[in-house]
Amino acid sequence: MALITAPLIVYCGIALAVTTFVTVVCYAIYTHREHKRYSHVPSPKRQSFFLGHIPTLKKYDDSGRTLMDLFRDWHAECGPILIIFLMHRPIVFSAHPDVAKEVMVTGNHTKPPKAYRSFQFLFGSRYMGYGLISEIDHSQWTRKRNALNPAFNRKFLMEFMSQFNESCDVLLDFMSNKTDQTTQFKMLDLFERLTMDIIAKVAFDIDLGAVCDANQPLSKAISSTFNAVAHLIRNPHDQINPFAASFRKQVRAACELLRNTGNKCVEERIQAINSGSTPRQDILTYIIKSTNEDDDIQVQIEEMVDQFVTIFIAGMETTANQLSFALIEICKHPEVLARIRKEVDCILQSKNHVTFEDLNSLQYLGQVLKETLRLYPPVFAATRILSNDVTYLGYHLPAGTEVTVNTFQMCRMEEYYENALQFDPDRFAPDRERPMFTYFPFSLGPRVCIGQHLSQMEAKVVMAKLLYEFDFKLVPGQSFELLERATLKPKDGVMVTIRPRDRVAAC
């Protein structure tokens, strides 16, 4: 027996070694071919043949700098078009408006599967699945988008106004007994909980009560999944790394929590409809109507849950980041605050809520919110896969190339914005011209954000009410650096103290 086993082990060992060797050689040949195919495109120095630019991404992270710093340095070195490799995967990056226009608007390019894989599934667990953001099949996406568009029309948005006000009032109450100027608030957390309450109510008719609950598990689940998406770009091997098993388990549990919440909500609504009650006409109603009736019911439910998770996350995270960045800049610029208050006081001194009609009068506040997104776009870039060969700025790129256009970078370039790093809401005054195809915080082209108007109405209401009620002071010693975790957010979370405002009669 031992005599038979020994050669078998040797043969298996040799077979394994040969297979590994052949795989490594094939992979090396493939990677080399990809490097050669794009050798005409400027590229920052690669630190590793196999890992490509991944070690540089990690080096920047470890030294406390962000992807934003890295791309600024890379574009300074290589110009407006450059290529990097994530292992064997090439991605072209551009900070030029002509490229942005072709990639996003005039060209007929779609979302690349590889870039959205982590949004569909995380470590094998379904996450956003094939919801509106991560659906990459164009015809499926068209069906889903057409079905959900009516839920974001003007009539619906007008009805959301009272909820924006109500949820914001809960936050004001929560903060108002801590106006001692020593209690510190982490505004990013509060904004996340507020925007979560709002989207849960207006989209799905759920009362979460997250504002008053610092340990809201859904909030933790969302940050866990976003961390994982960002982590996988720098550490793709953690998909299989045995030492990352507990990290994977924790992320899977977060996905499950989000999806179970969605599942429960969808099934309750379907039951209510089946039992003859007239459902509330909200976003969930449209999600339920949007599925393909020819599909199996379980497939339909999964698709509804995909949309639930997508809208829930997209509906809170980015708006909370925008509000947080806006508050930093408002606190740093008393002249901006004074101008906002002139508008806000006129509206709120006679009543305690902002109406749909009032939104137009908050013109300057709107400019402040737009300027915030210029300097701090929570989604700082967009990626497409070329459906045909294209030549950008003299560089020929074959069909199938992934191209990322970077609004963050362009919005901070002197070529396009004078004193680009200065916070100046007057750039968005109605009579001012701005460079085209540089500023696209809500993306561009057919896959533009569906929640753009909803989010900006909500942001106006929240900011107006907070600034009417309180004086904010930034806690000294915090950094205002950026943190990239799938979206851009303020690293230290915007720590403030507050006091009730000394109000003077306005208007």
- Return the H-helix or E-strand segment holding 477: none
Q: Which is nearer to ligand HEM, 302 or 345 (CB)?
A: 302
Which of 315, 366, 425, 493 lies at the binding interface for ligand HEM (CB under 6 A)?
Answer: 315
Angle formed at CA 403 by CA 399 and CA 404, multiple of 5 degrees: 165
Query: Is residue 449 at the binding interface for ligand HEM, with CB under 6 A as the rule?
Result: yes
Site for ligand HEM in 251-280 (CB under 6 A): none
Give the binding range for ligand HEM (CB under 6 A) out of 30-38, 165-173, 298-306, 448-456: 448-456
Q: Which of 56, 318, 409, 497 binds ligand HEM (CB under 6 A)?
A: 318
Tell me the helix, strand and coil percentages in the chain, rounded to 5: 55, 10, 30
Q: 499 by DSSP, 3-state: which?
A: strand
The answer to whether the beta carbons of residues 286 and 292 sit under 8 Å apart is: no
Our separate counts of H helices and E strands in the chain read 17, 13
Residue nearest to ligand HEM (CB): 451
User: Is the Cβ of residue 90 or residue 441 nearer to ligand HEM in the bound state?
Assistant: 441
Q: Which tokens hold the place of 134? A: 């991560």
Q: How many CA atoms lie within 13 A of 145 on its CB side?
A: 17
**Shorter beta-carbon distance to ligand HEM: residue 265 or 450:** 450
Bridge pairing between strands 89-94 and 402-406: parallel
- Residue number with CB closer to ligand HEM (51 or 199): 199
Q: For residue 473, how far is the Cα from the chain centroid?
A: 27
Output DSSP code: residue 389.
-
Considering the rule CB under 6 A, would residue 157 count as an interface residue with ligand HEM? no
- Applying CB under 6 A, does 310 fall inside the site for ligand HEM? yes
Residue of 259, 447, 460, 465 interacting with ligand HEM (CB under 6 A):
447
Residues 6+ apart with CB under 8 A from 345: 468, 503, 506, 507
206 lines the binding site for ligand HEM (CB under 6 A): no
- Bin 55: left if φ > 0, else alpha if -120 < ψ < 50, else beta: alpha
**Which positions from 117 through 146 interact with ligand HEM, judged by CB under 6 A?**
132-133, 145
Choose, by CB under 6 A, the member of 451, 465, 468, 484 that binds ligand HEM: 451
Please report whether residue 457 would count as binding ligand HEM according to CB under 6 A. Answer: no
Spatial neighbors of 223 by CB under 8 A, at least 6 apart, are: 485
SS3 call for 101: helix
Applying CB under 6 A, the span of 258-266, 354-362, 389-397, 443-451 interacting with ligand HEM comes to: 443-451
In 10 A of CB 154, how many CB atoms? 9
> Smaller CB distance to ligand HEM: residue 133 or 175?
133
Q: What are the tokens at 77?
A: 């070195």
Nearer to ligand HEM, 56 or 455 (CB): 455
The correct pick among 322, 324, 401, 438 for binding ligand HEM (CB under 6 A) is: 322
Spatial distance between the Cα atoms of 402 and 407, rounded to a whole number of angstroms: 16
Q: How far is the CB of 403 from ligand HEM (least distance, A)?
A: 13
Q: Which of 441, 484, 488, 498 binds ligand HEM (CB under 6 A)?
A: 441
Residue from 70, 265, 305, 314 in contact with ligand HEM (CB under 6 A): 314
Nearer to ligand HEM, 157 or 254 (CB): 157
Query: Which CB, 44 or 493, lies closer to ligand HEM?
Result: 493
**Nearest distance, CB of residue 264 and ligand HEM, angstroms:** 20
Contact yes or no for 494/376 (Cβ under 8 A)? no
Residue 452 CB, shortest distance to ligand HEM, in Å, is 6
Please tell me whether residue 379 binds ligand HEM under the rule CB under 6 A.
yes
CB closer to ligand HEM out of 195 and 497: 195
Please tell me the distance from the alpha carbon of residue 423 to that of residue 439, in angstroms, as a whole number.
15
Residue 114 as a binder of ligand HEM (CB under 6 A): the answer is: no
Q: What is the size of the binding site for ligand HEM (CB under 6 A)?
A: 23
How far is 207 from 201, CA to CA, in rounded Å?
Answer: 6
Please give the single-letter amino acid code of residue 452.
Q
Candidates 262, 366, 378, 493; binder of ligand HEM (CB under 6 A) is 378
Among 130, 442, 468, 470, binds ligand HEM (CB under 6 A): 442
Q: Does 361 bind ligand HEM (CB under 6 A)?
A: no
Q: What are the two backbone dihedrals, phi and then psi, of residue 216, each rounded to the nearest 5 degrees?
A: -55, 115
Minimum CB distance to ligand HEM smaller for 380 or for 417: 380
Decide: is 100 part of the binding site for ligand HEM (CB under 6 A).
no
Distance CA 248, CA 121 (A): 12
Which residue type occupies 137?
Answer: D
Beta-ladder partners of 395? 392
Question: What CA–CA distance (Å, rounded) separates 309 from 216?
Answer: 16
Q: Using the rule CB under 6 A, is 450 a contact of ligand HEM?
A: yes
Sheet holding 495-500, edge to edge: 185-186, 495-500, 470-474
Which of 222, 254, 311, 326 contacts ligand HEM by CB under 6 A? Answer: 311
Q: Which residues bind ligand HEM (CB under 6 A)?
A: 132-133, 145, 199, 310-311, 314-315, 318-319, 322, 378-379, 382, 441-443, 447, 449-451, 454-455
